[in-house]
Amino acid sequence: MECSLYDRIINQTKPFLESEIRNMCFQILQGVAHIPHQGYVHRDLKPSNLLVSKNVIKIGDFGFTSECSSHSPFTHNVTTPAYRAPEVFLESLVYDIAVDIWAMGVIMAELPSNRCFKVVLEPM
C-alpha cells in the first residue's frame, strides 16, 4: 500500500476535487457495507485505517472488529474519539453497524476540508 487516507489528507496541499471525494466515499462505503454481510462490526474506522494504493481504498486494521451476532456485551472503549458514535460515548453495551456508519460520516466530513478532526476528552 502507498499510504493511509490520513497521510493523503494531511499531505494534500490543495482541496480534493469533488470527483475525488465522491470516488473515495463510494469505495469506503462499499467496504463498510460489506463488513456486516460477513457478520462483523469494524468499530475502528478512521482515515489511518483506510489504505490507499493507486486511488484504490481498502479497509484495514480489524483489531477491534467484533461479530454482529455476539451475545456478549460490546465494550465502549473502542474507536478513536473523533470517530466514536454517540452510543459508544454513552457507554452502551449494545450497538451495531451504525457505529461504523457514524465513523464513515465523520470521514466524509473531513475530506472537503483536508483536515482530520480532533476530540479532546476531559473528565466530567
Statement: residue 43 has pLDDT above 90:
no
pLDDT at residue 74 in the model = 59
Query: How many whole angstroms separate alpha carbon 49 and alpha carbon 38?
Result: 19
Q: Average model confidence (pLDDT) for the chain?
A: 83
Write the pLDDT tens digit of every residue in 49-102. 999 999 899 999 876 767 666 555 556 566 788 888 888 777 777 777 888 899
At the topology level, CATH places domain 3-61+75-113 in: Transferase(Phosphotransferase); domain 1 (1.10.510)
List active site positions.
Answer: 44
Q: Are 100 and 32 in contact (CB under 8 A)?
A: yes
Strand partners, 94: none
| DSSP 8-state class, residue 83 | G
Task: Name the pTM for this structure.
Answer: 0.82
pLDDT at residue 90 in the model = 75
Write the pLDDT tens digit of every residue in 1-33. 589 999 999 999 999 999 999 999 999 999 999
Domain residue extents for the chain? 3-61+75-113
Measured in residues, the chain has a length of 124
Buried b (16+ CB within 10 A) or exposed e, 28-44: beebbeebeeeebbbbb
Q: What SS3 state is found at 7?
A: helix
